[in-house]
Chains A and B, each alone.
Chain A
């Protein structure tokens, strides 16, 4: 197994950075928490994680202000050079706002903050993130968001489908895609066309312990050490 150096970003309002540290440490990796005012990422970073929370209080739009923090310039360059970036929940919102991932995340259709365990289905596992999962596998992962309603236009959706960029969909326990928040095609997670930037609304870092409900998050996050 490859021991990774994982850099986890922290903005004012981020609240999942320590869960993310816990998750990667449990798998034996080095972690750094990187304050958003930093202009550089730690040397030898193998993976950048933009964790969940409510950066800048979700003011204006979720993720819209965090994308202009100094560290994001370094993240953009890192991603453009092929570096791996994973955005979870608010991190996914930030990555779409800055254009590293296509589409946008709107307010949930039912206007509720949805916080519960949710089954999700693996649609494409042929990438650096989900390579330890199998296609059509059903995972039990918590969701907790108000703005998780993924939107992309028809042309963009076609591109995602064609390139295998749809990673995860919300589904019921037998795997049938199910409406959770109004997302186009029930999409829960995607990647960019180069397959080095990943974003998802569910929280794998909250599914690391069987006694806390699920350890399916381990199978998701350990993909990076094998890729």
Chain B
């Protein structure tokens, strides 16, 4: 199974990289962008086959190591 973990700064926590990219898009003439947030994607390949168990385990991995929940939110997608 595969798990895709997306980690990004919480709403309300200023994202300096997103802000810089937003500014650059504006200078290139893309005026239609109202906000840019930059996160990271962590792709895990897992040996287990039980989806619910995998989901619980990946959540634990994310809260322990992959994300710092003081400043970051995350989402998890599990696929075959």
* Residues of chain A at the chain B interface (Cβ within 8 Å): 60-61, 64-65, 68, 96-97, 103-104, 106-111, 149, 151, 182
Q: Which residues of A contact B65 (CB under 8 A)?
A: 60, 64-65, 68
Q: How far is the CB of B27 from chain A (nearest CB, A)?
A: 16
Contact of A111 among B9, B16, B70, B71 (CB under 8 A): B16
Q: How far is the CA of A111 from the CA of B14 in the complex (A)?
A: 12
Q: How far is the CA of A149 from the CA of B16 in the complex (A)?
A: 10
Smallest Cβ-Cβ distance to B65: which chain A residue = A64
Contact of B66 among A60, A106, A107, A108 (CB under 8 A): A60
**Residue pair A61, B14 in contact (C-beta under 8 Å):** no
Q: B17 interface residue, CB < 8 Å from A? A: yes
Q: How far is the CB of A199 from chain B (nearest CB, A)?
A: 14
Please name 24 pairs of A and B residues whose Cβ atoms are closer than 8 Å in the assembled complex, sorted by A: A60-B65, A60-B66, A61-B68, A64-B65, A64-B68, A65-B65, A68-B65, A96-B70, A103-B70, A104-B71, A106-B9, A106-B13, A106-B14, A106-B71, A107-B16, A109-B16, A110-B16, A111-B16, A111-B17, A111-B20, A149-B16, A151-B13, A151-B70, A182-B16
Which residues of B34-80 are within 8 A (CB) of A? 65-66, 68, 70-71
Q: How far is the CB of A32 from chain B (nearest CB, A)?
A: 29
Q: How far is the CA of A112 from the CA of B14 in the complex (A)?
A: 16
Count of interface residues, chain B, beta-carbon cutoff 8 Å:
11
Q: How far is the CA of A173 from the CA of B70 in the complex (A)?
A: 33
Q: How far is the CA of A107 from the CA of B16 in the complex (A)?
A: 7
Q: Which residues of B contact A108 (CB under 8 A)?
A: 16
**Residue pair B70, A104 in contact (C-beta under 8 Å):** yes
Given A64-B65, A106-B9, A109-B16, 5 more pairs with CB closer than 8 A: A104-B71, A107-B17, A111-B20, A149-B16, A182-B16
Q: Which residues of B contact A109 (CB under 8 A)?
A: 14, 16
Q: How far is the CA of A182 from the CA of B16 in the complex (A)?
A: 9
Q: How far is the CB of A192 from chain B (nearest CB, A)?
A: 15
Q: Which residues of A contact B71 (CB under 8 A)?
A: 104, 106, 151
Q: How far is the CA of A190 from the CA of B65 in the complex (A)?
A: 23
Q: Which residues of A contact B20 (CB under 8 A)?
A: 111
Point out which of A61, A68, A149 has the most chain B C-beta atoms below 10 A from its C-beta: A61
Point out which of B17, B20, B65, B66 has the most chain A C-beta atoms below 10 A from its C-beta: B65
Q: Which residues of B contact A68 (CB under 8 A)?
A: 65
Q: Which residues of B contact A60 (CB under 8 A)?
A: 65-66
Q: How far is the CB of B39 from chain A (nearest CB, A)?
A: 12
Q: How far is the CA of A110 from the CA of B17 in the complex (A)?
A: 9
**Residue pair B68, A104 in contact (C-beta under 8 Å):** yes
The digit string for B5-32, where 1 denotes a CB below 8 A from any CB of A, is 0000100011011001000000000000
Q: How far is the CA of A106 from the CA of B19 in the complex (A)?
A: 14
Q: How far is the CB of B50 from chain A (nearest CB, A)?
A: 26
Q: How far is the CA of A96 from the CA of B16 in the complex (A)?
A: 20
